[in-house]
Amino acid sequence: MENDNTIRRMKTIEGHLRGVIRMVEEDAYCIDVIRQIQAIEAALNKVSSRILEEHLNSCVITAIQGSDKKERERVLKEIAEVFEMSAKV
């Protein structure tokens, strides 16, 4: 199940984040901390991309193929907002 894979990945990221917190608490070398943060960001981006892909292949396709114009517009607006927010980060 895809949800199980997502949860497993998120828990791995959570463990990685705890490790970085320990690094900061132990006054680790700044560049090493930054590299670990970048690794966490990349892992989160990958999970986010997979969730978005699943959403596009299920909810969005269903809405686009449906007859409810307002639902189509709502779903497309949501997708646009997600991309807009990712550009701000």
* The model's pTM: 0.83
Segment holding 85, helix H or strand E: helix 69-88
Q: What is the pLDDT of residue 38?
A: 98
pLDDT range class, residue 1, cuts 50, 70, 90: low
pLDDT range class, residue 86, cuts 50, 70, 90: confident
Distance of CA 43 to the CA centre of its chain: 8
Q: What is the pLDDT of residue 46?
A: 95
Fold classified for 2-88: Methane Monooxygenase Hydroxylase; Chain G, domain 1 (1.20.58)
Query: Half-sphere exposure (CA, 13 Å, Cβ side) for 4?
Result: 1
Which amino acid type is present at position 35?
R
DSSP classification of residue 26: T
Query: What would the pLDDT profile of 20-75 be if each residue is shown by its tens digit?
Result: 999 999 999 999 999 999 999 999 999 999 999 999 999 889 998 999 999 999 99
